[in-house]
Amino acid sequence: MSHQACALVAGYPDLMARLDAQRRYTFVNEKYAQVAGIPKNQLLGRMAGQVKFSKKWLRSVQAAMDAAAQKGQTQKLEVKFAKQWYDTSIVPECDGSGNLISYMIFAHDITEIKQTQNALKQKQKQLAESEGRFRTVLENSLDAAYRRDIQTDAYDYVSPVIEQITGFLPEEFRAMGTDEILARIHPDHIREVERKLELIQNSDGSSGVLEYAFKAKDGDYRWLADYFRIIRDQQGRPLYRIGVMRDITGRKETEEMMIASLNTAQQRAREAEFERRIIETVINNVPEGFLLVDARSLSVLMVSRHLAEFAGKDQEAFKNISLQQYCRFLNVAGMNGEPLAFEQMPIWRCIQKGEVVVSEYYRLTNNKGQTITVLVNAAPVRDANGEIIRGVAAWRNIEPLQQAEDKLRKSRDAARAARGKAEERRRILEAILMSIPEGIAVIEAPDGQLRLVSHYYENFIGISRKELHATSLEKRMQHYAAMENGSNMPVALEQTPSWRALKNGEVVMNEEWRMARPDGSQSVVSMIAAPVLDDRGEITHAVTSFRDITKSKEMEATLRRREFEFRTLVENSPDVIVRLDPQLRCQFVNAAYERMTGIPRERCAGRTCRELEMPEAYCAILEKEAGKAMSTGREINTEFGFRGLFEQRYFWGRLIPEFEPDGRVRSVMMVARDITERKKAEEHVRYVSFHDSVTGLYNRAYFEEEIKRLDTGRSLPVSLIIGDLNNLKLVNDTFGHEEGDRLLQKIAEILRKTCRNEDVMARWGGDEFAVILPDTGAAIAGSICSRIKRQAELSNGTAVAPSIALGFAEKSRTADNIYMVLRQAEEQMYENKLAESRKNQELVLSSLLRRLRVKWPGLDRHVERTSELAQRFAEKLGFSDSQMEDLALFIRLHDIGKAVVPDDLLSKCGDLSSSEWEQVKRHAEAGYRITNTFGDTARIAEAILSQREWWDGSGYPRGLKGKEIPFLSRMFSIVDTFDTITHHRPYDRVFTRQEAMEELQRHAGKQFDPALTEAFVEFVSASVH
């Protein structure tokens, strides 16, 4: 075997040893001897049991060797020794007759993998626990926090404070693209912002600060300080930019005002800042420190030289001082600069709480003002009883890495000195290549001639070792023509990991490739390639290996597909889906939950319903039912409601426990369906069943049920009020049922205002109302009736002022019949209605005339003039006293029907359309219905109905003619027309008296009674003379 191959075996970073059939060491490499703690020359010839490994390690290896000897097969196991984990293989070697002649031991250090897995689990747990606390801080901070996905170039989180700073809502700000954001940065600052961002993202930098003027939503520029950090993946590629934005407009304005006088001070500050950054960069990149504290006295036992030098003290100055005194030398703060409380310090937490602190970042400041960022690990030291006796805190130090490099150089020197054992090492290497389950190949510079190849490699590609050794690198690469890297295009020789390692010195780690198999199929492999250098640093060989990961990739793809299918179903489900942990914190919510509650799902993660400020009733139900599902492990059905984003919503839900492999309930999944519409339908049916649709009061069915319920001794005394609404039929007939409904609603409103919350108010019939007054005597019932009457007199907004006749009665003894009490109240109501009929008549007429005066401001003057003129004309005609009374009443009420005519038609200047004229003509019939309703005015109702009839029968509403028209109507129509045309009117000019008399004479025999017209003209002429 070549010297280079021997050097490779001797310097192999894994542990290697060979034992004969009696299990005595015949060969070990440097790494094995180093871990065993015995020089190689002293280790050779010893029995395996004489080497001081741990008992557990020795037992495991001895058992594996026994199994290998019995089965003649390689045995694999994972063992731990000296705090290190090793993936170990025991390979038996036999002669031609099958007799065991030796054992080969190969052990690969997997400690870092184990630590990484443990650290990852711990980190995930810490992240899950702290996410809720961090989000609460961000939501309540005066600064706006954000996270921007560098891959998608979009914000996926912006805290609500952004609205106070920029005027934009969080969702508006998240929707902005890079171009839109840059467009709002002041033109003088854009280039610097882009330069800094590109510099930090494309370099190894992880944080930075940007200051720039930003145009807010109101158009004004505001100065922002953007403190950000770049989050990268394991390959150093930027993934996210997270940070906070602070409004520094006030500070910038102050700076601009003082800039003239502070130029010198600013220059010095920049120089000091530059020097401070240089010092901080050096300290941050050489974080070396160590602290040992006594747990009982909380006194410092020891500090490292680097820590003491940084604190500006001698190491002796730290001995036996208290931890509080130590904190005066070094001030510890969080990464954002906030002071760290004593109880939050890593060394205190590990001593007092037993915490193991792993990879936490802090800022250290000494008495000189120097500040560094350190990565701290801290752990408690316990005695045999498990009590904490010491606390240890350490900074990360790069010295172990330098020492490892020195050891590596020494191991290379030792490999050169061990070339005499080339044959033994060759057999060791052959055994490795025969047993290791990876495709390993060693090629030689400069032409790539194959020197070593594993058995797994031959079998995988289907080409014998002899053929491989006989071909050049270029010809061997023809067998790799089918090798692909994510595409169907052939791979160029220069792109293969072997060539890159051999020619470019590149170290290729875990690249995924596709490789053709002998059966025509393709497998996915993970490839590693690295160069081997000589003492002068020149490449002599390249080592490549691959491992088949086809099944892992297929399983990964299957899991991704299933996860996608499940998430698609959950996200598009109309039902609300929530997963709760044992503390009832939300682990997952779907889009339906977000739509229903209006709470972003990011805010829900890690929070309980109370922390999300959900309604108390919902929280109580969820805590009770989810807790029951957690404790019993059974599915629970429940109904609950809460006020969502727009209205109260109701849900029927099922809480389904999810279990750990050991049977413990891990979480509860709640699937809830919106039943709001069903609930509304049920509520509507219930409401309609017991309420009047017009007034909203209870109906008669409910009223009668309440009478039965309250007809007990517990509610005595109980009083009943019965009311009958006056003038409802008149309003319905005259103004229409819509106005009648408005009158009913007005009375219902008055009842609600005057009665108490515990009273039961109902619409008893068409125009009848009833009220039950529990625990109320007759005196209070009478007082309530008085209040109802007063409120009715003061109310407005209806065509006719509301008026209601009321009666009440009291049940004071259990023996009294409640229905007799109701009858008494009803009889009293009818008595009051009869007694108040004249008052009601005047109320109706007065309210209608008042309504008409609003429509027609000149009504009173018109009535006054026509009254005087008509009475004098009536005296000439010889009217009796009763006819004069009828005339006076007729004149007062002759236009009362115009109360139903729309205001704009009464005052319209132009001609009326046919439909408008039909509305105006309704006033005669309306006036007839109003006056015919009351006994005192019924005698003039016929005259009011006929006042627009013409002598020739062409009038309205009935087309009467001649003496079919009542005398009072014929006489007053002449007087009314004379007064109307001789005074102002919006639709025509004013006539003189002479013109008016001529107009009357022209229409005599057509519109007016000829005889009465002639008499009126003579009367007016005589009056003028």
* CATH number of the domain bearing residue 747: 3.30.70.270
Residues 901 and 994 both lie in one domain: yes
Q: Is 233 part of the annotated catalytic residue set?
A: no
pLDDT lower than 50: segments of the chain: 1-5, 272, 276, 278-286, 397-399, 401-402, 481-486, 488, 1025
Residues 830, 835, 841: CA angle, nearest 5 degrees: 105
CB 44 within 8 A of CB 25: yes
* Secondary structure of residue 304 in the 3-state scheme: coil
13, part of any domain: yes
Asked if residue 201 belongs to a domain, the reply is: yes
Q: Identify whether 561 is part of a domain.
A: no
Query: Could you give the count of Cα atoms lying within 13 Å of 584 in the half-sphere of its Cβ?
Result: 19
Q: How far apart are CA 359 and CA 289, in angstroms?
A: 14
Alpha-carbon distances of 417 from 3, 414, 540, rounded to whole Å:
10, 5, 18
Catalytic residue among 247, 767, 976, 1009: 767
Does 582 sit behind a cis peptide bond, omega within 30 degrees of 0 on the bond before it? no
190-207 burial, b for 16+ CB within 10 Å, e for fewer? eeebeebbeebeeeeeee
User: Is 1009 within a domain?
Assistant: yes
Task: Name beta bridge partners: 642.
Answer: 649
**Are residue 524 and residue 577 in the same domain, yes or no?**
no
Q: Are residues 370 and 461 in the same domain?
A: no
Give the per-residue pLDDT at 745.
87
Domain assignment present for 312 = yes
Domain end, chosen from 661, 680, 699, is at 680
> What pLDDT score was predicted for residue 851?
73
Residue 161 inside a domain? The answer is yes
Q: What angle do CA 450, 453, 455 make, to 5 degrees?
A: 155
Q: Are residues 182 and 74 in the same domain?
A: no
Backbone angles phi, psi at 262, to 5 degrees: -115, 15
The answer to whether residues 921 and 888 belong to one domain is yes
**How do residues 495-528 score in pLDDT, each as one tens digit?**
788 888 888 888 988 888 877 777 777 788 888 8
Q: What is the CATH number of the domain that holds 331?
A: 3.30.450.20
- How high is the pLDDT of residue 722? 92
Of 835, 855, 877, at which residue does a domain stop? 835
Asked if the structure places residue 413 within a domain, the reply is no
Do residues 94 and 198 both lie within one domain? Answer: no
Instruction: Give the 3-state secondary structure of residue 297.
Output: coil
Distance, in Å, from the CA atom of 1017 to the CA atom of 1015, rounded to the nearest integer, reads 6
pLDDT of res. 136:
63
Same domain for 1006 and 864: yes
Cα–Cα nearest to 363, from 371, 355, 353, 352:
371
What is the per-residue pLDDT for 596?
79
The C-alpha atoms of residue 244 and residue 230 are separated, in whole angstroms, by 12
459/586 same-domain check? no
pLDDT given at position 809: 92
Are β-strands 576-580 and 586-589 bridged in parallel, bridged antiparallel, or unpaired? Answer: antiparallel
CATH, residue 898 = 1.10.3210.10
In the chain, the number of structural domains is 8
160 and 85 in one domain?
A: no
Write the DSSP string, 21-51: TT-BEEEE-HHHHHHHTS-HHHHTT-BGGGS
Asked if residue 592 and residue 675 are part of one domain, the reply reads yes
CA distance 701 to 691: 9
Last residue of a domain, one of 653, 680, 707: 680
In contact, 931 and 938? CB cutoff 8 Å? yes
Contacts of 37 by beta carbon, 8 Å cutoff, 6+ apart: 52
In a domain, 713, yes or no: yes
Cβ contacts of 593 within 8 Å, gap of 6 or more = 576, 577, 578, 599, 601, 604
Same domain, residue pair 762 and 718: yes
The count of other CB atoms within 10 Å of the CB of residue 867 is 17
Strand partners, 713: none
Domain containing residue 866 = 847-1024
Residues 189, 212 contacting (CB under 8 angstroms):
yes
Please, which contacts does 212-218 make with residues 24 or more away whose CB atoms are closer than 8 Å?
A: 212/185, 212/186, 213/185, 213/186, 213/188, 213/189, 213/252, 214/166, 214/184, 214/185, 214/186, 215/184, 215/185, 215/186, 216/165, 216/166, 216/167, 216/168, 217/166, 217/167, 217/168, 218/167
What three-state secondary structure class fits 344?
Answer: helix
503 and 636 belong to one structural domain = no
